């Protein structure tokens, strides 16, 4: 169950990152509330996952999901570069997170 919590924490981290960009563009209170809510929920799920996972593994995977997800969201919704070098480094982040799952 800890891995499910960790994945949910990462997804809410991605939502928080997306809300940072949204709030930067529209400065609406709803965007700010969604930003804060996403990060709070993310931290709660991260804490729940750390009940059974080592801190270093949980934090590294959570950060990786957030970073990789932020890059993917930027590419998909904000037309950021999809240069092959960015994709290679994105794959490295994802493979490191998967590797930590396999050895934990």
For 60-89, how does the pLDDT look when each residue is reduced to its tens digit (9 = 90+)?
999 999 999 999 999 999 899 999 999 999
Q: What is the pTM of this model?
A: 0.88
Task: Give me the chain's average pLDDT, please.
Answer: 94
**DSSP state for residue 50 in the 8-state scheme:** T
Letter string b/e over residues 14-52, b meaning 16 or more CB atoms within 10 A of that residue's CB: bbbbbbbbbbeeeeeeebeebbeebbebbeebbebbbee
Confidence (pLDDT) at 97: 85
At how many degrees (to 10) do helices 29-49 and 55-77 cross?
Answer: 150
Confidence (pLDDT) at 49: 97
For 33-50, how does the pLDDT look when each residue is reduced to its tens digit (9 = 90+)?
999 999 999 999 999 999
Confidence (pLDDT) at 25: 92
């Amino acid at each position: 169950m800890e891995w499910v919590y960790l994945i949910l924490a990462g997804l809410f981290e991605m939502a928080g990152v997306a809300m940072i960009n949204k709030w930067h563009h529209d400065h609406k209170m709803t965007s700010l509330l969604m930003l804060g809510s996403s990060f709070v929920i993310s931290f709660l799920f991260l804490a729940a996952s750390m009940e059974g996972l080592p801190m270093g593994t949980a934090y590294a995977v959570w950060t990786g999901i957030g970073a990789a997800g932020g890059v993917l969201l930027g590419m998909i919704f904000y037309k950021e570069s999809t240069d092959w070098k960015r994709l290679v480094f994105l794959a490295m982040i994802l493979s490191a997170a998967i590797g930590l799952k396999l050895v934990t």
